[in-house]
Copies of this chain bind each other. A is one copy, B any other.
Amino acid sequence: MRGFFYPRTATGSSSLIPSPPWHYSGDLLTVEYRTDPARVAELLPAPLELADSDPGAVALIWADWQSCSTDRAELLDPVRSQYKEAFVVVRCKFQQQTFSRCVFIWVDKDFAVARGVHQGYPKKLGSMWQTRPHPFAHAAPQIGPGGLFGATLAAGDRRLAEAVLTLREESPTNGFVNGHPMAHHRVYPGIDSGDDAFAELISSGASEFAGGQAWRGDVDLKLFESPTEELARLEVHEVIGGYYRQVGVVWNGGATLARLA
| Residue ranges of A at the interface with B (Cβ–Cβ < 8 Å) | 1, 4-11, 13-14, 16, 19, 23-26, 42-43, 45, 65-68, 72-73, 75-82, 103-104, 109-110, 113, 117-120, 122, 124-125, 127, 129-132, 134-141, 148-152, 154, 156-159, 162, 164, 185-189, 191-194, 197-198, 200, 202, 204, 208, 210, 212, 227-230, 246-250, 253-256
Contacts and interface: CB of A to CB of B under 8 A. Distances in A.
Given A117-B117, A122-B6, A191-B255, A136 B78 contact: no
Given A7-B104, A16-B122, A76-B150, 13 more contacts: A5-B189, A6-B185, A13-B230, A25-B135, A75-B131, A75-B148, A77-B129, A82-B132, A117-B117, A119-B191, A138-B250, A197-B198, A197-B256
Contacts of A135: 25, 212, 246, 248
Query: Which of A7, A16, A159 gathers most chain B CB within 10 Å?
Result: A7
B78 A131 contact: yes
A99 B118 CA distance: 28
Contacts of A5: 189
B162 A77 contact: yes
A154 B157 contact: yes
A230 B11 contact: yes
Contact of A191 (B81, B156, B191, B204): B204
Nearest to A103: B7
Contacts of A4: 189, 194
A76 B75 CA distance: 28
A164 B76 contact: yes
A25 to B, nearest CB: 4
Contacts of A210: 136, 138
A117 B120 CA distance: 13
